[in-house]
């Protein structure tokens, strides 16, 4: 993980049906790239084997999955399960910044479950989850749900809605695309701030935590005989 200098934001996503998750991934990347000193890479989970080093070196990883049957897609889950080896055990992604986004055809579509999945995946890997900064845009008659940014009023991650009979650029609509763009900018800003802070105040712990071949116990901390 870079401690200073250019910040790398990598968007890891799956998109199969209409390309709507890919359109949001592009928006996240656009927003992140608008932040000074930030470079972005988009990685489809279908091609992740060509990009592992890029993922390992990233300062921030943004996870994107369509909502399929009320959860992350099988392909995205398969990618996550591959992290359950060394990436989890060696704490390889500890303290990397993380965020997420999803899209479904239903206004709800059970998208919250997908975002919860993504946040839990990040938590299991010791990552630092960034919620949506932009306040929900449609709570009253004073706004139009079609035009409001963060029109879904979601905070755990970006929620978008894409009509099942439309593809980008028609769906998801511009308001959801802009919501994703702003979230990418926000995540990149946080990653940049953290990198600067880490350069000034290095962690007293090794990034890869304790690899003792077994979980940490009271014994390791001298708290038992």
Specify whether the CB–CB gap between 195 and 8 falls below 8 A. no
The nearer residue to ligand FMN, 89 or 170, going by C-beta atoms, is 170
Name the helix (H) or strand (E) containing 79: helix 74-82
Which one of residues 2, 19, 75, 136 is an interface residue with ligand FMN (CB under 6 A)? Answer: 19
**Token pair for residue 53?**
């080093």
66 binds ligand FMN (CB under 6 A): yes
Q: What's the Cα-to-Cα distance from 200 to each of 3, 4, 193, 194, 196, rounded to whole Å?
A: 9, 9, 11, 10, 7
Which one of residues 7, 11, 12, 15 is an interface residue with ligand FMN (CB under 6 A)? Answer: 15
116 binds ligand FMN (CB under 6 A): no
Greatest Cα pair distance in the chain = 66
Site string for ligand FMN, 182-201 (x = CB under 6 A): --------------------
106 binds ligand FMN (CB under 6 A): yes
The nearer residue to ligand FMN, 34 or 113, going by C-beta atoms, is 113
Specify whether the CB–CB gap between 72 and 117 falls below 8 A. yes
Residues binding ligand FMN (CB under 6 A)? 15-22, 66-70, 103-106, 109-110, 162, 164
């Amino acid at each position: 993980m870079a401690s200073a200098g250019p910040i790398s934001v990598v968007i890891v996503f799956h998109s199969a049906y209409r390309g709507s998750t890919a359109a949001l991934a592009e928006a996240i990347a656009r927003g992140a790239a608008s932040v000074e000193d930030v470079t972005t890479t988009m990685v489809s989970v279908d091609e992740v084997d060509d990009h592992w080093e890029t993922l390992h070196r990233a300062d921030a990883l943004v996870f994107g999955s369509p909502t399929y049957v009320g959860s992350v897609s099988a392909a995205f889950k398969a990618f996550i399960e591959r992290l359950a080896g060394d990436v989890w055990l060696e704490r390889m992604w500890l303290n990397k910044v993380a965020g997420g986004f999803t899209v479904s055809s239903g206004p709800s579509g059970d998208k919250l479950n997908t975002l919860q999945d993504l946040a839990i995946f990040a938590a299991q890997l010791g990552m630092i989850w960034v919620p949506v900064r932009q306040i929900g845009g449609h709570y009253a008659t004073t706004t139009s749900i079609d035009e409001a940014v963060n029109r879904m009023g979601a905070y755990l991650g970006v929620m978008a809605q894409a009509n099942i009979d439309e593809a980008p650029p028609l769906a998801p609509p511009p308001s959801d695309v802009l919501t994703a763009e702003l979230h990418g900018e926000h995540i990149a800003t946080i990653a940049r701030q953290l990198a600067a802070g880490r350069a000034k105040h290095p962690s007293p712990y090794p990034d890869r935590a304790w690899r003792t071949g077994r979980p940490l116990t009271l014994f390791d901390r001298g708290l038992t005989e």
